[in-house]
Amino acid sequence: MPATDTVRIRLPDDRNYEIRIGSGLLDAHASWQGLPKGGAAVIVSNETIAPLYAQRLREQLLSVYARVDLVVLADGEQHKGWASLNQICDHLLSEALDRKTVLFALGGGVIGDMTGFAAAIYMRGVPFVQVPTTLLAQVDSSVGGKTAINHPLGKNMIGAFYQPERVIADLDTLDSLPDRELRAGLAEIIKYGPIADAGFLDWIETNLDALLARDKAALAHAVRRSCEIKADVVGQDEREQGLRAILNFGHTIGHAIEAGMGYGEWLHGEAVACGMVLAADLSHRMGLMPADFVERLRRLVERAELPVQPPRLGAERYLQLMRVDKKAEAGAIRFVLIEALGRAGLHAVPDERIVETLTTHGAA
């Protein structure tokens, strides 16, 4: 039996679940035991991941479920929309699958977010399991129950909070992940340091080369610590009434970059990395953090070979995109700013300050 780390996420109404992290989990019988059954299993994946892993998952699930279907979606952030969501629902309905059906999201954050949303709305809710295969999905998107599709006017604008039954993060699936996608995952790992754990930021700085070299022990630690932090935050504030917003550090500008450039042009993690550098700069301009913190974060992002220079969309376009951000209130754009190393909060930032930061970084 392969070594497995388990992080538990604690939620009201008997909705606690486990995040299992380790090597060989995809092929381990135990990963798939104890889940809801009595209906069919449906694996939702995409044209890149399905040929790599769907057959292995299907074989495992056939020891639990009498029927295991596979829905293969187009690959890419630009397909995180109504058409793909409909494709999942069309399959479920045309096969007359009942509300005991369990969906298995096999892929990165795009597949996880869409499968979770389909699970939330099909027959008003069927169970689903996250099987994340990107670093980003293992450290972030598979945990916490944010599900969504994109809209041309804004990222993740149509969705639901809906928790999975379990998360199975098999570190071995990262072996086939392209380098650019691995680096995108590092962005969300870096995020957890400044917002929640200064010691973890030190650890990332020390171990960045090992992470880039895909050292399994380093990856296992990064995934576990990231999941612990996220599970703790979500356990306190599942529906983002307050604290959970800290997980959006770097995302106000990041989401504007993704939508403004056209989904898929910048990877989510790339846009978040750049957004964190600008949000760090804003934290300094708002008098919360010293200048050396901005430099420290910029240096780390650069070392991870992630972008620090935002695209020149123009200040007005950035402001327009950020006014539809979910954290905005009554037209005021609100940013997650760092207040001290390991502590963050939500702050309304005047447009002039935002324009200053955008201009300094060549985005305006």
Ligand X SMILES: O=C(O)C(=O)C[C@@H](O)[C@H](O)[C@H](O)COP(=O)(O)O
| Contacts of ligand X in 247-276 (CB under 6 A) | 247-248, 251
Residue 244 appears among annotated catalytic residues: yes
What CA–CA distance (Å, rounded) separates 234 from 11? 8
Closest to 255 measured CA to CA, from 335, 329, 160: 335
What CA–CA distance (Å, rounded) separates 251 from 266? 13
Region binding ligand X by CB under 6 A among candidate stretches 56-64, 139-147, 221-229, 313-321:
139-147
Q: Which residue lies nearer to ligand X by CB, 41 or 190? A: 190
What x-and-dash track marks residues 147-166 binding ligand NAD by CB under 6 A? ---------x----------
Q: Which residue is nearest to ligand X (CB)?
A: 156
Q: Which two tokens stand for residue 75?
A: 């690959």
What one-character-per-residue DSSP string does 147-209 give? EEEEETTEEEEEEEE---SEEEEEGGGGGGS-HHHHHHHHHHHHHHHHHH-HHHHHHHHHHHH
Beta strand spans in the chain (E): 4-9, 17-22, 41-46, 68-73, 102-107, 128-132, 146-151, 154-161, 166-170, 334-340, 343-348
Tell me whether residue 216 is annotated as binding.
no
Q: Which residue lies nearer to ligand NAD by CB, 219 or 294? A: 219
Residue 345 contacts ligand NAD per CB under 6 A: no
Tell me whether residue 151 is annotated as binding.
no
Q: How far is the CB of 243 from ligand X (least distance, A)?
A: 10
Residue 221 contacts ligand X per CB under 6 A: no
Residue 155 contacts ligand X per CB under 6 A: yes
Beta strand spans in 202-361 (E): 334-340, 343-348
Residue 183 contacts ligand X per CB under 6 A: no
Q: Name the binding residues.
A: 75-80, 109-113, 133-134, 146, 155, 188, 251, 268
| Residues at the interface with ligand X (CB under 6 A) | 140, 144, 146, 155-156, 188, 244, 247-248, 251, 326
